[in-house]
Amino acid sequence: MNTLDDRYTTPKESLETYIDLVRFGEDTQVLDSRQVDRLFERGQADPDHAQTVLGWGKELREAIHDVFRALIDKCPVPRAALARLNAYIQGASGHMRLAPVKGGFAWNYDDADELESVLWPIARSAAELLASDQLSYVRACFSKTCEWFFLDTSKNHQRRWCDMTRCGNRAKVRNFYARQKNNY
Ligand SMILES: [Zn+2]
Ligand 1 centre and the CA of 122: distance in Å? 21
Burial class of residue 75 in the structure, from the number of CB atoms within 10 Å of its CB (0-12 exposed, 13-18 middle, 19+ buried): exposed
Ligand 1 centre and the CA of 29: distance in Å? 21
Ligand 1 centre and the CA of 61: distance in Å? 18
Q: How far is CA 22 from CA 26, 62, 131, 139, 144, in A?
A: 6, 17, 25, 25, 30
Which pTM does this prediction carry?
0.88
Ligand 1 centre and the CA of 59: distance in Å? 23
Tens digit of each residue's pLDDT (9 = 90 or more) over 129-182: 999 999 999 999 988 888 899 999 999 999 999 987 878 776 666 666 666 666
**Residue in 3, 102, 113 with CA at minimum distance from that of residue 57:** 3
Ligand 1 centre and the CA of 100: distance in Å? 40
Report yes or no: 95 and 115 within 8 Å, Cβ to Cβ: no
3-class DSSP state of 108: strand
At 8 the pLDDT is: 85
The two beta strands, 12-13 and 4-5, are: antiparallel
Ligand 1 centre and the CA of 150: distance in Å? 9
